[in-house]
Structure 1
Amino acid sequence: MYVQGFLIAVPQEKKEAYRALAEKAADKFREYGVTEIVETWEENVTDGKVTDFRMATKAEPGEKIVFSWMIWPDRETCEAAGPKMESDPFWAEMSEMPFDGKRMMWGGFAPIFTMGRND
């Protein structure tokens, strides 16, 4: 298992547009090998004194935090998807994103402990 995590701020009024985009993209990610996607919308995010989700994403008033992740079978499958995405016309058709992609952060992670998936 290999996990890609994402963190972004999305304007509250664009929640449905973001959800629809995530749903549309999910089918394409499945083609690339993703086995699971979880998209979550802020409900209880506290402000920190040193750092927090809002500071990390430079969230502006009226924006909500989206925390999501994709489960890949392994890192190799994830990395093989990169060139496919760059050449796939599907992504060029998605001209308008419901968030500021410059403030999006993501990374790949190797699990060191899981509970509930492979018990």
Structure 2
Amino acid sequence: MSYIDGFVIACPKANKEKFIAHAKLGDSVFMDLGALRVVECWGDDVQKGHTTDFRMAVKAEADEEVLFSWIEWPDKATRDAAFAKMTEWMEDPSKADPRMDPEKNPMPFDGKRMIFGGFAPVLDLKA
């Protein structure tokens, strides 16, 4: 069964087009490293919760929208190999893929408020 990396981000609404451009360039790296699919979703119906919600989780400001994204990998081993490669790039930026260069492809959001994690599917229903 596949392996999923999930992300929740707060991004300024004014940066929507910048985010899309950033994702198109940066996400192509994940595809080249073996991802099967990358999905980027811009908040459309993100409700306020009573105890917690997506907006609170990423401390979204009034001028920001919540984004929900995921990367589907064929398996955890492929994902781990991709992350090892990206860690290698962080340790030696001269070897990094230029699409991941923050000067050439800056994040149009506050990465410190991004929530992310890896998930092993336990159920996968398809039509």
* Superposition TM-score tier, normalisation by shorter sequence: over 0.9
* CA RMSD in angstroms, aligned pairs only: 1.3
Q: CA 1:103–1:33 in structure 2 vs 1: closer, same or farther (change >3 Å)?
A: same
SS in 2 for 1:106: strand
**Distance in 2 between residues matched to 1:49 and 1:41, nearest whole Å:** 22
Q: One-letter code of the match for 2:23?
A: A
Q: One-letter code of the match for 1:77?
A: T
Q: How does 1:1-119 map to 2 (within 5 A)?
A: 1-86=2-87, 87=89, 88-90=96-98, 93-95=101-103, 96-116=106-126
Q: Is the 8 A contact 2:47 2:53 kept in 1?
A: yes
Q: One-letter code of the match for 2:46?
A: V
Q: Alignment length, in residue pairs?
A: 117
SS in 2 for 1:37: strand
- Name stretches of at least 5 consecutive residues in structure 1 with no aligned partner: none
Percentage of pairs with the same residue = 44
| TM-score normalised to structure 2 length | 0.87
**Distance in 2 between residues matched to 1:90 and 1:105, nearest whole Å:** 24
- Name stretches of at least 5 consecutive residues in structure 2 with no aligned partner: 90-95
Deviations 1:50-73 (A, max 9, x none): 000000000011100000000001
Q: One-letter code of the match for 2:83?
A: G
Q: Is the 8 A contact 1:85 1:91 kept in 2?
A: no
**Distance in 2 between residues matched to 1:94 and 1:33, nearest whole Å:** 22
| TM-score normalised to structure 1 length | 0.92
**Distance in 1 between residues matched to 2:81 and 2:41, nearest whole Å:** 26
Q: One-letter code of the match for 1:98?
A: P
